[in-house]
Chain A
Amino acid sequence: MIVNKVKIDNSEFNYDVNENIVLLDNQPNEIEILKRFSNDYYEVLINGKKLIVGIKKDNNQIQINYQNRTFDIEIIDSFSAIKKEMSSLSGNELMTASVKAPMPGLIIKINKNINDKIQKGETLVIIEAMKMENSIKSPFDGIVKSIYSTVGNTVAKNDILFEIERMNK
């Protein structure tokens, strides 16, 4: 049987909902919304404890801002779990991944050419933002497939800079 699951920060719970009670692994959590501030920020009461959190929802992905940090929480209900299982059966595993600009800035230096081998943690490109140089590093071992950045150009946040093919183990 497929059950509803919620994933946060490497932990996973089975869930069920009944009105304002959320059961996590059969443990009840009582929730009450006390205030809504602007910009999707809320004061909430959970099991008698007060929290201030920012909450954004995007399909089954919930983003919570708590204690000056942001957490992505994935919710897999029975329906979407089935969908996911079906798609993973088709076996299309991603072999290439793109490296995106983590912030807007100016491209100062590009360290790699197309077809260059790159190791995890090696610097691909240097971006200047907020007066500092920031090295953008490769997330895994691989080969540079395409380069979408040019020295001297500005990039926006989440612009794709590189496409890297994952090296076979």
Chain B
Amino acid sequence: MIKRILVANRGEIAIRVIRAAKEMGIETLAIYHEVDKSSHHLNFATLTKQINGSTPKAAYLDINQIIEIAKSTDCDAIHPGYGFLSENADFSEACEKNGIIFIGPKAQSIRAMGSKTQARKIMFEAGVPIVPGTLEPINDQTSGKKIADEIGYPVLLKAASGGGGKGMRIVRNENEFTENFESAQREALNSFKDDSIYIEKLIENAKHIEIQLIADKHNNYVFLGERDCSVQRRHQKLIEECPSTVLDEELRQKMGMVALNAARAVDYTNAGTVEFLFDNNKNFYFLEMNTRLQVEHPVTEMVTGIDLVCEQISVAMGNTLSFKQSDIQLKGHSIECRINAEDPYNDFMPDIGRILYYQEPQGNGIRLDSGVNLNNEVTMYFDPMIAKLIVYAKDRKLAIKKMLMALDEFKIGGLKTNIPFHKAIMNNSEFISGKYNTNFLTSVFDYSELPELNFEEKQMLAALSVYFKENYKPHCNTTENNNNKFGNNWKQSNLHIRRLI
């Protein structure tokens, strides 16, 4: 039995894990770097403990420090979330050595899948279809260029130890090779401490479809349907949905079985995801396996009714899976939008700052996994994703409608977010048709579809500005006006207060 889980993460995923643990009667310990000392996730845990590092990121990546904290605070298990140490084999191994349950796969499975080139080899041998490209990692530019020339452009450069789109570059012709190779290596080294690259033929106009699976320690493997994650920008997923519009039951079963074969080939336990490229002719190719809980796991939870995090904790304790393959049915439709602190009107430049106004969407079929709250500071140190908005409805059409409603209700002030961008996508005919593929944002979506102010709105904001300019007097420094409900900065004569706060 697990009594206390150390959550080796931050933000919304830390809260997600803490909630699951609470449901199961398990205590939690949240860790935080100094820059996170007032972060939202700390309000949910049983206990909190500060960690240190040369940078905030380094603190959350410090295996020894985190293991020591787990031991000194009687945590008998660690959940890594996603990102940070979640796909670090050494971390899984260190937990095992110290008698701590790692809520995730064994080190050897992470290692096998973590090296993208090794994974391709294993999959090739296990009969799983792979994209044509290199089976060995490459470190020097000259031999990389030679291989790219041989495969034929366009090619895709990927970090051999990578994931999540970091260190990934498309090369359209040989002239673009050098710049992209250097940049991919830099980003790979920075994100994964390994600058090896591998090269694949770029399969264009393909969908990104992945299979969620989970395995216990008793050789039971179950897949939980697919997720279509084809709405991506710079190889970062933005919108995910389940089920996909292009899979029928037969194809779903076929891909599911291939995914389970992939997992069996590396003796996999706990939750994992096998990603495929799915082309126009319904061919699918193994992309990679993510040996952790995915950001987009909620859409699967909505349509299967299974709590993946609770199940992760349960199988980590040694329990058998609480369901069989035949129990799994996809019911209804779910969509997730990743809410990022970035400006869709200015090339998606990341934005930082304090959240000055915050109103969450609510209602039937609306789920919000958020890592922030009013007055929280969004800093430059971490990923720009601040929340995930998930909707569930009986069919896709209704799910899109619900998502639009929820996006409209979601108000975040003080910080630029991609909410207007998500609205434009939900209104886009290609997205509505369900035919969209990974090219959607680069060549189909028209960025002028982003919502702009109409004349009435311009009028309202202009009138409001004039009103505020005339009435707002900064720092009158009077103390006798304390009963003025707008504070001291207001000329009382011009105020029209209908309702007191």
Task: Tell me the A residues contacting B by CB distance below 8 Å.
Answer: 4, 6, 8-9, 11, 13, 15, 17, 19-20, 22, 24, 27, 29, 31-41, 44-47, 49, 51-55, 57, 60, 62, 64-71, 73, 75, 102-105, 108-109, 126, 128-134, 157
Contact = CB atoms under 8 A, between A and B. Distances in A.
Contacts of A55: 464-465, 468, 472
Contact of A65 (B413, B462, B463): B413
Contacts of B97: none
Q: Chain B interface: which size bin?
A: 35 or more
A105 to B, nearest CB: 6
Contact of B458 (A11, A57, A104, A157): A11
B15 to A, nearest CB: 20
Contacts of B410: 68
A91 to B, nearest CB: 29
Given A132-B234, A134-B350, A68 B458 contact: no
Given A54-B357, A69-B416, A130-B380, A13 B459 contact: yes
A68 B411 contact: yes
Interface string B270-304: 00000000000000000000000000000000000
A69 B465 CA distance: 15
B350 A11 contact: no
Nearest to A58: B474
Interface stretch (B46-54, B148-156, B493-501): B493-501
Contacts of B381: 130
A70 B461 CA distance: 11
A1 to B, nearest CB: 19
A41 B465 contact: no
Given A53-B464, A67-B420, A29 B459 contact: yes
A8 B461 contact: yes
Nearest to B487: A36
A38 B494 CA distance: 21
Nearest to A4: B466
A71 B458 CA distance: 10
A80 B419 CA distance: 36
Given A103-B351, A131-B166, A46 B356 contact: no
Given A17-B466, A68-B420, A103-B380, A36 B414 contact: no
14 contacts: A6-B465, A11-B458, A22-B463, A24-B463, A33-B497, A36-B501, A46-B463, A55-B465, A68-B410, A71-B461, A73-B462, A108-B186, A130-B383, A131-B166
Given A17-B467, A67-B411, A104-B380, 14 more contacts: A8-B461, A11-B458, A24-B463, A32-B498, A35-B499, A39-B354, A41-B356, A53-B461, A54-B414, A62-B468, A68-B413, A69-B420, A130-B381, A130-B382
Contacts of B496: 19-20, 31-33
A39 B191 CA distance: 36
Interface in B461-501: 461-470, 472, 474, 485-487, 494-499, 501
9 nearest CB pairs, A to B? A39-B356, A29-B463, A62-B465, A22-B463, A73-B465, A41-B357, A130-B350, A68-B419, A130-B384
Contact of B465 (A8, A126, A128, A131): A8
B461 A66 contact: yes
A57 B171 CA distance: 47
B57 to A, nearest CB: 8
Most buried by B among A57, A60, A130: A130
B428 interface: no
Contact of A133 (B187, B413, B451, B495): B187
B416 A68 contact: yes
B334 interface: no
A52 to B, nearest CB: 6
Given A24-B462, A69-B416, A131-B382, A35 B357 contact: no
A37 B383 CA distance: 28
A4 B55 CA distance: 51
Given A64-B464, A69-B416, A75-B465, A57 B472 contact: yes
Given A11-B458, A34-B498, A133-B183, A75 B350 contact: no
Contact of B352 (A32, A46, A109, A157): A157
B349 interface: yes
Contacts of A71: 453, 461
Contact of B346 (A45, A66, A75, A102): A102
Contacts of B464: 22, 31, 44, 46, 51, 53, 55, 64
Interface in B207-235: 234
A41 B234 contact: no
